[in-house]
Structure 1
């Protein structure tokens, strides 16, 4: 495992047990972001970096019983917390790296990724891997339940011009990986960038 992956695992392993209790009011924000994907009954969707699986219930609701929901995370403790919360009933959980997904090319209709971009060791390559597993015309949602400024304030830091999630940085990064950004929202209550896979 790379040093980057070890750092991410250590960070999230230390926080997995109380993750949901630290952010109890995020449910509606997740549901609203999932709605932005435009999923239909029977669709196949991947939650990349699913953590404790908070997006899995709204994803399951969006695709219905005939749809497929897969949650992938690098940190065993996060997946264990998802199972304890019963969210494994809403989707299949896989221990895997979002940068090397155990999925066939073009096998899903959409990817949901909450808080993932900041933790990608190789953003351009990793976004290209998400592109690989999505069908042509499929969608990607990069989400965080609070915006960049609110998150920086919570963490006691300032936003810097090199922040990957800043629109002038994110748009070309996505484009280089085969995505066309269709909307960008960065406000205190949420961060949501939507993109469509183009060939």
Structure 2
């Protein structure tokens, strides 16, 4: 396992038990983002870097009983917290790295990723791996429950022009990894970028 992966596992592993208590008001933002991500009944969707599985119930509601919901995370403690919260009833949990997903090419209709992009060790390669498992025309939703400026303020740092979630950086990053960005919202109360898998 790479040093990056070990760091991510240690960071989230130490925080898994308190994660949902620390961010108790994020639920409606997840529900809204899922509603805007273009999912249809019967779709197959992956929550990449699912953490404690907060998006899984909304994803299940969007794809219905005929759909498939997968949640993949690198950190066992996060998946344990998802099970403890009962969210494994909404989807299948996988202990897996988004850099090497145990899925066939083009098997999914969509990927939902909350807060993931800041933790990718190689963003272009990792986004290309997400593109690999999504059919042409399928969707990618990159979400965060608060916008870039609000997150920077929470973390006590300046918003930098090289932030990869800035629109002028994210568009080319997605384009270089098989996605076309179709919408971008960066507001205090949410961040949501939607992209379509290029044919």
Q: TM-score with structure 2 length normalisation?
A: 0.99
What is the CA-CA distance between 1:40 and the residue it aligns to?
Answer: 1.1
- The yes-or-no answer on 1:124 pairing with 2:124 is yes
For residues 145-174 of structure 1, what are the alpha-carbon distances to aligned partners after superposition, in whole Å with 9 as ceiling and x for unaligned?
A: 000000010011111111110000000000
Partner of 1:171: 171
Partner of 1:37: 37
How do 1:71-150 residues align onto structure 2 when only pairs under 5 Å count? 71-150=71-150
Partner of 2:16: 16
Structure 1: how far apart are the matches of 2:155 and 2:37? 28
Partner of 1:189: 189
The DSSP-based 3-state class of the residue aligned with 1:70 is strand
The DSSP-based 3-state class of the residue aligned with 2:156 is coil
Structure 1 stretches lacking a partner, 5+ long: none
What is the CA-CA distance between 1:58 and the residue it aligns to?
Answer: 0.2
Structure 1: how far apart are the matches of 2:51 and 2:71? 8
Q: TM-score with structure 1 length normalisation?
A: 0.99
What is the CA-CA distance between 1:2 and the residue it aligns to?
Answer: 0.1
RMSD: 0.5
What is the CA-CA distance between 1:36 and the residue it aligns to?
Answer: 1.5
Query: Hey, which bits of structure 1, 4+ residues long, moved more than 3 A?
Result: none
The DSSP-based 3-state class of the residue aligned with 1:34 is helix
What is the CA-CA distance between 1:134 and the residue it aligns to?
Answer: 0.4
What is the CA-CA distance between 1:41 and the residue it aligns to?
Answer: 1.0
Structure 1: how far apart are the matches of 2:41 and 2:123? 31
The DSSP-based 3-state class of the residue aligned with 2:142 is strand
For residues 96-139 of structure 1, what are the alpha-carbon distances to aligned partners after superposition, in whole Å with 9 as ceiling and x for unaligned?
A: 00110011110000000000000000000000000000011000
